[in-house]
Amino acid sequence: MRQGFKHKFENFEPQVPEHLFDNIMHQIEVQEAGLAQKSFFAGKSKFWIPGVVAVFVVTLLSVILLNKDNINKELSEPLQTAQNTNDNQMPIQPDDNSVAPKEMPIKVEPQKQESEPEGALQQEVLSDKDTSKEMDNSAKQEHQKEVKNFVKPQIIAERYICGNACVLELANTLDGQWTSIPSVSIEKLSGKRYQAKDCPVNTSVLFTFESAGQQDTFTVFFRATPKISTEVLAENCGKSDGQIVLKVPEELSLSILGDYQFEDNTIKGLSEGQYRIALEDQYHCRYDLSEEVPQNRLSEEIEAEALHFNVGYPVYFSTKTEEKDLLYEWNFGDESYDFSDKPEHRYRQSGTYTVQLRLQKEGCPTQMLEKTIHIDDKPIEIPNVFTPNNDGKNDLFFVNLPEETTSFEAFILTTSGHLVYKWSDTNDAWDGRWQNGQEAKAGSYLYILRGKDSNRKSFEYKSVIKLIR
């Protein structure tokens, strides 16, 4: 049996050392002798012996494979030692006068093989497993670090579209990938900014961002970039204090592109002129504005008032302004002038006149205003008192209108504004009664007379008529 096992392992690579083979065979023989002594196993040894042999063969192969490097080392060390010994024997050169020494045979003593501790091989295997485990732990920790560093992305410009491009800003330091439903084109611009092109307006888009094995989604409803309205404040007399006030949604933050004084959505310090201004919001949307800043006028128009715009009646002129220290120069169109702020003028002839006013103030340009008025030749005769007592004298409130009057209406009111009587026939008059025929009490009443002449020029008279009984 011993020779049979030895013959099987002669061709095994690497070669099994003699002492290792003897040790294994000794253990097999001891087990075989023990089994033969027991009567219960005497008849069944033909089954147990091969089983035991198989177990030890498997054990032997395992030990050989695990100690492959050690076995090679055991086999190679004696040969290496012998080679080193031969190399160390230096030849002695004979001297001319000396006798050559007698050659002596060299005896090579094999070095004693030190057996490795039994746990050394297991320690090496365990070390490899620990290294692999540490590498796995390191990769796991790195993945956990990425997961921990994953910050949910935030779409800052989720409600705005700059033209046909939606600007998305990602609050995340990790690289990732965007997808969307419905699909829109998404590209990275710079830093954390992404641009989604051709976003559908007034449509919800589902965006998904994935990074480090984590993902987050946003449902975004895009609407067009809001419009910006403006209010222009004129410059005051060359003081460069004109302003353009921007009216924007509260959530929009604007910055101006250019050298302008910009504060609280207001462009300040502007002189009179045309301005083209570019603005940008926090979503990098651009707004181009074109506004004209005028110079504040000293006054807007001339006002003219008169009881009757007829020859000989006074006409009162004025102009609305909040400016002080103004110089006035009135030209009434009939070669008459005045330099007060509120002049009174009487025309001696009927006709149409162009009234001019020149306004001047130190530091401001001269301003010219004009107004056209018409003066009638024959004045309208309107009484201021009448006595409806049926004595045949001054019993009616009658207005003598010009023949060219084409339309007319008259109203009699109480001093508190209640309607008493009205008529529209130029030949009609008020007889001192209410519209229902009841006599009106003595006292003062208001009248309003309105009409147009043949030139479609309008007139209106308002005053007080006194009723006496």
pLDDT (tens digit per residue) in 33-46: 655 554 444 444 44
Spatial distance between the Cα atoms of 225 and 209, rounded to a whole number of angstroms: 24
Instruction: Please state the rounded mean pLDDT for residues 251-265.
Output: 88
Q: Are strands 458-467 and 385-386 parallel, antiparallel or unpaired?
A: parallel
Q: Look at the block and give the residue holding tokens 């790195």.
A: 142
| Superfamily of domain 302-375, CATH level 4 | Immunoglobulins (2.60.40.10)
User: What pLDDT was estimated at residue 430?
Assistant: 95
For 425, phi then psi, to 5°, come to: -90, 130
> Model confidence over 347-393: pLDDT tens digits?
988 899 999 999 998 878 888 999 999 998 766 778 999 999 988 88
Model confidence band, residue 99 (pLDDT cutoffs 50, 70, 90): very low
Task: Kindly report the three-state secondary structure assignment for every residue of 425-459.
Answer: CCCCCECCECCCCCECCCEEEEEEEEEECCCCCEE
The 3-state DSSP class for residue 42 equals helix
Whether 143 has a pLDDT exceeding 60, the answer reads no
Most confident option among 83-92, 150-159, 269-278? 269-278
Instruction: Check if the beta carbon of residue 372 is closer than 8 Å to that of residue 352.
Output: yes
Q: Look at the block and give the residue holding tokens 């529209």.
A: 424
Contacts of 352 (CB under 8 A, 6+ apart): 372, 373, 374, 375
365: left (phi over 0), alpha (psi -120 to 50) or beta: beta
Query: CA end-to-end span of the chain, whole Å?
Result: 167
| DSSP-assigned states of every residue in 304-318 | EEES--BTTSEEEEE
78: left (phi over 0), alpha (psi -120 to 50) or beta: alpha
Evaluate whether 302-375 and 385-467 have a shared fold: yes
Q: C-alpha distances in angstroms, 303 versus 271, 306, 319, 356? A: 29, 10, 6, 11
Between 48 and 355, where is the model more confident? Answer: 355
Q: Look at the block and give the residue holding tokens 């004109």.
A: 242
Three-point CA angle 315, 321, 327, nearest 5°: 80
Spatial distance between the Cα atoms of 332 and 315, rounded to a whole number of angstroms: 10
How would you list the strands of the sheet with 407-413, edge to edge?
385-386, 458-467, 443-452, 407-413, 419-423
> Model confidence over 168-185: pLDDT tens digits?
665 555 677 888 888 888
Q: Look at the block and give the residue holding tokens 């959505």.
A: 265
Sequence spans of domains, the chain: 2-70, 165-222, 229-293, 302-375, 385-467
Instruction: Report the candidate in 99, 101, 76 with the shortest Cα–Cα distance to residue 89.
Output: 101
For 49, phi then psi, to 5°, come to: -60, -50
Q: Which two tokens stand for residue 377?
A: 């030749």
Instruction: Please state the rounded mean pLDDT for residues 211-230.
Output: 77
12-21, 61-70, 190-199, 429-438: range with lowest mean pLDDT: 61-70
Instruction: Check if the beta carbon of residue 412 is closer than 8 Å to that of residue 420.
Output: yes
Instruction: Report the candidate in 359, 365, 358, 368 with the shortest Cα–Cα distance to residue 239.
Output: 365
Three-point CA angle 403, 409, 410, nearest 5°: 110
Whether 30 has a pLDDT exceeding 80, the answer reads no
Instruction: Report the candidate in 153, 172, 193 with the shortest Cα–Cα distance to residue 282.
Output: 193
| DSSP H or E stretch at residue 195 | strand 193-197
User: What pLDDT was estimated at residue 53?
Assistant: 57
Q: C-alpha distances in angstroms, 184 versus 179, 192, 232, 284? A: 8, 18, 40, 19
Q: C-alpha distances in angstroms, 380 versus 277, 307, 312, 402, 459? A: 58, 10, 12, 7, 11
User: What pLDDT was estimated at residue 41?
Assistant: 42
Q: Look at the block and give the residue holding tokens 């046909």.
A: 164
User: What pLDDT was estimated at residue 345?
Assistant: 95
Q: Does domain 385-467 have CATH number 3.40.50.2300?
A: no
| DSSP H or E stretch at residue 70 | helix 68-88
Question: What global pTM score does this model have?
Answer: 0.36
Cβ-in-10-Å burial (0-12, 13-18, 19+) of 400 comes to exposed
Between 76 and 322, where is the model more confident? Answer: 322
Q: C-alpha distances in angstroms, 86 versus 78, 442, 458? A: 13, 162, 144
User: What pLDDT was estimated at residue 236?
Assistant: 81
User: What pLDDT was estimated at residue 59?
Assistant: 60
Q: How many helical (H) and strand (E) elements, i.e. helices and strands, does the chain have? A: 6, 25
Whether 261 has a pLDDT exceeding 80, the answer reads yes
